Amino acid sequence: MVAIDGPAGSGKSTVGAEVARRLGALYFDTGVVYRTLALVASEQGIPPDDAGRLAQLAETLSLRVGPPSIDDGRLYDVWLDGRDVTWVIRSSEIDRLASLVSAHPPVRQALLRLQRELARNGRVVMAGRDIGTVVMPDAPVKIWLHASLEERARRRQRDLAKRGIVQSLDELIAELAERDRRDATRAVAPMRPADDAIIIDTDNRTIEQVVEAVLAIVRERCECAEHGADSHSVASVTTPQN
């Protein structure tokens, strides 16, 4: 089990999917669950502050995540009742709504079971905000991906541009900062690195360098487990520059 947490735009999805591919593991991006819930709620007219109805909806939410069926830059397909919502859940409105709906404790509780069931499926790389702290607190490998706000906004701008969406850097910085603030200050399962997470600074590093750094940690931790060493030590590493 590899837990990868970090703020929006820190590279969790890209890195997580590639790490999973190389380990022959299942990759699961938990943000997809909150995003899909936000989409269904907004389509059904459920306001983002209605914790009770959102939790009910979360109990019955049925989505399917699978390998990419179209070569359009997606890492995976997200299906909701036979509808391909892969890109629909990536709008800036859903960015905002997903962060709002995910702050309600009963919503998180309802979605926790689903995420833990996935974690029991053997080899899994799971990405989110609270994977190392709440969803898989026993994961032998916990990674926190760090990136500066400006760098994350630049990445988001590039991703949007690929889909023909133009948004100013200032606007993106403001949106990301607001989302970070909300995700990190909510009462339940706030976004934060687990005490035993290894922090990787991804600024000025390529995806390949970050992937390699994560894989090196996986190899090292596996060895530690074999030799009975303490796998919960606090460590901080940076990836090689070249």
Judged by beta carbon, residue 156 or residue 205, the one nearer ligand DC is 156
Min dist. Cβ of residue 213 to ligand DC (A) = 20
128 binds ligand DC (CB under 6 A): yes
Please enumerate, as own/partner, the contacts of 118-124 that have beta carbons within 8 Å and a separation of 24 or more: 118/26, 118/28, 119/1, 121/26, 122/25, 122/26, 123/1, 123/23, 123/24, 123/25, 123/26, 124/1, 124/2, 124/20, 124/25, 124/26, 124/27, 124/28
Judged by beta carbon, residue 125 or residue 131, the one nearer ligand DC is 131
86 binds ligand DC (CB under 6 A): no
Interaction pattern, residues 166-195, with ligand DC; x per rule: CB under 6 A:
-------------x---x------------
61 binds ligand DC (CB under 6 A): no
8 binds ligand DC (CB under 6 A): yes
The window from 98-106, 116-124, 152-160, 202-210 that contacts ligand DC (CB under 6 A) reads 98-106
142 binds ligand DC (CB under 6 A): no
Among 129, 152, 205, 221, binds ligand DC (CB under 6 A): 129
CA pair distance 45, 85, nearest whole angstrom: 18
Among 39, 57, 98, 194, binds ligand DC (CB under 6 A): 98
CA pair distance 172, 92, nearest whole angstrom: 9
Judged by beta carbon, residue 184 or residue 225, the one nearer ligand DC is 184
Residue 22: other Cβ atoms inside 10 A: 14
Report how far apart the first and last C-alpha atoms of the chain are (Å, whole number). 28
